[in-house]
Amino acid sequence: MPIQERDEIPTNGDAQSAGLPPKVAENPSALLLERPRLFSGILPADFTGICRTARLKQFARSEMLHFEGEPVERVILLTAGAVKLTKLGRAGSEVILRLASRGDFLSAEGLIWCGMHCSSAQALRACRGLVWDAEAFKGLVDRFPVLHQNLLSILGDHLRELEDRFREVATGRVGPRVALQLLRLLKTIGQPVEGGIEVGLSREELAQMTGTTLFTVSRLLSAWEERGVVKPRREAVAICDIESLRSLSRED
């Protein structure tokens, strides 16, 4: 299935005619609230220059950004939205490895180590990102070796999270591990809503991330809703009482 191309906007002076604010058209790094971790140790002028070599793209909700096993053709820095990274099991079942949000990079590790996508990526909601062609990004890594060091550190954190989730599936009860995962998601994709913070993930996707079933997740959320801890929605969960959720995550 080919990847759909959408709304490509150059990050230069012509971007003003595309409706971008002048500040963003002149300096696309202004799309970020803070410098991404991958660019830690890069001088401010170099950081701005690197962002100017990218192009801005919009991605629709549910759009596939890339598929597992395909050659890496571009690297994306998310400036808005959220993306789920998945793998398929032998029977075709989907497993969510992690969620990427604003400030996260997609495909950088696959490009540097094997040139192939190690997982598939799909937009959870409408996204925007700065995009570099693969060869251009490789050139940046060669020019700024600190990018390689930062990427190793980021991958180490991803591995530790996967190890924690594996331990929870292997040794923990389902209730606490679902609560733990919701607490993690609050930090990455949580958005303030009336009466709490919303995690834009369906019950099925939450089940995929916690190694359980849709029925079990639905039963847990219904019980927690009665206690005023959460408020399940069609494709999201609003967290109404974070402290109670933390208590649920610590239950033996």
What are the structural domains of the chain?
A: 8-166 (2.60.120.10), 173-249 (1.10.10.10)
Do residues 9 and 18 touch, judged by C-beta distance below 8 A? yes
Predicted local distance difference test score (pLDDT) of residue 112:
85
pLDDT in tens, the chain (252 residues): 444 444 454 444 334 333 444 445 556 666 665 788 899 999 999 998 998 899 999 999 999 999 999 999 999 999 999 999 999 887 778 889 999 999 899 999 888 888 899 999 999 989 999 999 999 999 999 999 999 999 999 999 989 998 998 898 888 899 999 999 999 999 889 988 888 899 999 999 999 999 899 999 999 999 999 999 999 988 899 999 999 999 999 876
Do residues 158 and 98 touch, judged by C-beta distance below 8 A? yes
Collect all residues with Cβ–Cβ distance below 8 Å to 163 and sequence separation of at least 6: none
CA distance 15 to 11: 6
The residue among 139, 138, 146 whose CA lies nearest residue 71 is: 138
